[in-house]
Amino acid sequence: MVEFSKSTGLRIRLIYYPPYPSKYNPIGRCWGVLENYWNGAILDSVETVVQWVSNMTWKGIKPIVHRVETVYEKAIKVSPKELEPYTPCWKRSESLPKWDITIVSG
């Protein structure tokens, strides 16, 4: 994101949601709608899940459904040394420094 900000000259504001769904998180609300939609159906295969998700609507919109088969590695950490070139471009919010960061092109 820092490199993108530098190449475009844009200020990019990243707002992270806390780790648990909240009423302000649209993805969390969508999962809630999906859970209500399938109403206790037995989801015993990937195909069944994709079929249920593909047929639902939320606020009149049908979702675009893809099955992602990539295996993502867990517990990958970036060392402070690797982050050094980027941290001068991060401006953390005074009131929510953990959740609100603006990236400036330097």
Q: What is the pLDDT of residues 9-65, one digit of tens each?
A: 999 999 887 766 566 777 777 777 778 888 888 889 988 888 888 888 878 888 788
Between 7-16, 30-39, 71-80, 96-105, the lowest mean confidence (pLDDT) is in: 30-39
Count of structural domains within the chain: 1
| Structural domain containing residue 28 | 2-103
- Secondary structure string (H, E, C) spanning the chain: CHHHHHHHCCCEEEECCCCCCCCCCHHHHHHHHHHHHHCCCCCCCHHHHHHHHHHCCECCECCCCCCCCCCCCCCCCCCHHHHCCCHHHEEECCCCCCCEEEECCC
Residue 24 in tokens:
């302000």
Specify the pTM: 0.51
Alpha-carbon distance of 79 to 64, in angstroms, equals: 36
Q: Residues 6 or more apart from 105 whose CB is under 8 A from it?
A: 5, 6, 8, 9, 10, 11, 89
Alpha-carbon distance of 106 to 90, in angstroms, equals: 9
| pLDDT greater than 90 at residue 82 | yes
